[in-house]
Structure 1
Amino acid sequence: MTQPPVLPPNDVATAEPGAEQRDRPRGALSWALWDWGSAAFNAVVTTFVFTVYITSAGFGEPGTIEAQLGWALAAAGLLIAVLAPVMGQRSDNRGRRKLWLGVNTYIVVALTAAMFFVQPAPEFLLLGLVLLAAGNVFFEFAGVNYNAMLNQVSTPASIGRVSGFGWGMGYVGGIVLLLIVYFGFIAPEVGLFGVTGENGLDIRITVLVSAVWFAVFALPVLLRVPEFRPPAGAARERIGFFASYSRLGRDIARLWRERRNVVWFLLASAVFRDGLAGVFTFGGVLAASVFGFSAGEVIIFAIVANVTAGASTIAVGVLDDRLGAKPVIITALAGLVASGLIVFFLHDGGQLVFWTAGLALTLFVGPAQSASRTFLARLIPAGREGEVFGLYATTGRAVSFLAPTMFALFVTIGGAPYFGILGIVLVLAVGLALLIPVRAEARALD
């Protein structure tokens, strides 16, 4: 005797017909492999390797080059904020999400490969900054279309697991690639194929390997997942690029009138996602300056932290589908605030404190990021995923100054680096407070 169906939480919709559901897991794996490959840009280029390389002494005066890096990334952020929602809107209207995912992905691959020509000399700094900034812009454009495809590779009942699996694959893929390039080229005096650190060759070969890595693992989603087609009756006339801004303004006004919950979530998520970014951005700084980690120990902690974040994200995706995304986000944010306060109040307890409470922080980061994506996917009216995920990218960039500003402000006020922890905790707490009133809903059908 079969059991009666159990109704899911109010932000979890029911499963779709069986035939489509049987097809989607393979598409989900192909989709998630893009996340695995994109770690080449996230982990190697923007976080642990290339940005560290172009802010080294060979490129100019310390302090000056870091400021120039900041300005380059700020310019990239401005372009993303202005262009992302329109690019997403146009891919929705024309049914070309996969096409633009491919175009933007391989532009990033080409830019990453071109970083090979950035030698450690001041005259190459501008080239490195331009390539890095442009890579960030096109990577975000690719991410808009990638996120918008989430509903194409999942059923309403499996969207949390699929999103968590993709995000977790990104963390794990980053660690695998970091281990390959670190032990293969960066750590040894003479690495694979006789590569040495002379003239920055170890780093330059690393970015080439990263470009190939991304190029290969981006192929499955482009070959296996069907192109998006607008729902029947949802296709809109094609208009010029600048006219798209007028349409965007009208669409935002319509969202505010009819789907105000979406707008409030975009605001709340922008704040807490910046706090999540701050956890990784300043985690290494705090490990070294407050808890006495050596450079090697920081790398080891980073590897363990990313593995922890990846595993927890994949595992918690199941709870996302069973309980809904909002409880997952709230629990994760509350856990982050508590763990951050433990790090602050026990900062003089040595490395053991950071290994325990610091890893607890990373345990909650991935689930909050993944569940945020699924929460929004369930709110978006059908056929407008690209546009709304474009706004998701824009709102995130619009407040990306919050965590760095609060970190710096609290360090200045407190007079010690560990006070910066309170700045990150404050951003996370404000994001949590903004999220609580947002209603969890089933995916919009209109």
Structure 2
Amino acid sequence: MKRAVAIARPLGLVAAVVLAAACSNGTDAVADEDRSAGPLSEVRVAGDEAVQIRAISALGGSPDAESPVYLAVRMAVHDYGPLHGQFDVEVGAGLDGECSDAGGRRAARAVLRTQAVVGVIGTQCSVAAIAAAPLLTEAGLVMISPSNTAPGLTSDLAGNAGEHRQVGYYRTAHNDLHVGRAVADFLFLELGLRRAAAIHDGDPYTEGLATAFADAFNERGGTVTASVSIHRQAASHAATWDSVVESEPEAVLITLFPDEASEVLQHRPTDSLGTISATVITSDFFGNEYLSEQRSAGLYLAGRDARHGDDVNESTGQGVADVLSRLVVDIGEVSAGSYWPQAYDATTLMLDAIERTSHLDDGVLVIERARLREHLSATDGYDGLTGTLACDEFGDCGAARIAVYQHIDPADPAAAAGNVVFEYSR
């Protein structure tokens, strides 16, 4: 176990320079010489240099300091301290994956303009990871995501690699197959419901979760009456609800991103033939303004179990309350749905692996990319803010702790985070 290192330098010193501008040919393509030494070659860091890692999150045009995920990465670097007691780690400016395939590619190419980068914490959204991971891992980097949950990025949890699986990719977030199973168990076993519909938008995350739920619900003996894909730019989602209502479900699972889910819920029918009597459950919906509306009362929220209790990160000695209190000071209220604990753990997991697999050669730090991957793949029993982490052969490292929350009081939306009505763990 690494002891926490006492350091007295501001966070700004570990979050270094903005990355270089576009390549000389006027495009964002990676120069051929960036890979001339082979993707799994050594990275050598001189004594007056710093180890380079990067973070790709979903900044949405906001300053880096306003992103709890990015700030958690910086805090983890600060708390971990210098590698081997002497090599600082630079995170660089936050990169925006934009929750899109184009954004993921742009961010990955920006990373690769700095040849010495060892690894990336990110992306935040699965669709961006599908685009970024091939570029980063083929260049020899490791990538640890705190919040990608699409099953296709790792595996089907039955020994088969996902369609987007890349060697060198890992995540401290859960696999959404677990969320799908948790919701299926809750509706079928806890509430005794037998007919359910799902609404998604075709995104790898939203459709993947809807499919995971449908498969699990069918396996338990339930019937999935409809799986409806919305058009993101639709002026009205009334037609979506028409399709759902016609299938006569007892429950409806909405796997959309929060803003989209809010728009769909605004069009939820309330007449005697509508879904007002059906149980509605959403995923990753904490912090949305819709929860302040009176009609949101009774809504169920499914996602990771945010009750981390007394969990402590073994590399830094910091607990959940310690890190959260600093985040609140820096950016104010932090949503219970934010993946900042997973980001903190992803960062220390990477730093611990770099330190354990690197060595000094006449004052130069030598990092072997192949050994780094081997070490991460063998991770077992690493204690983090999010529980005990263990990586399987496909890169799933996160503790599968899922909860279903019930939202009762629109006057106090934050209270839902403490109202757990169902638990699932694997």
Q: TM-score, normalised by structure 2?
A: 0.29
Higher percent of residues as helix: 1
Higher percent of residues as strand: 2
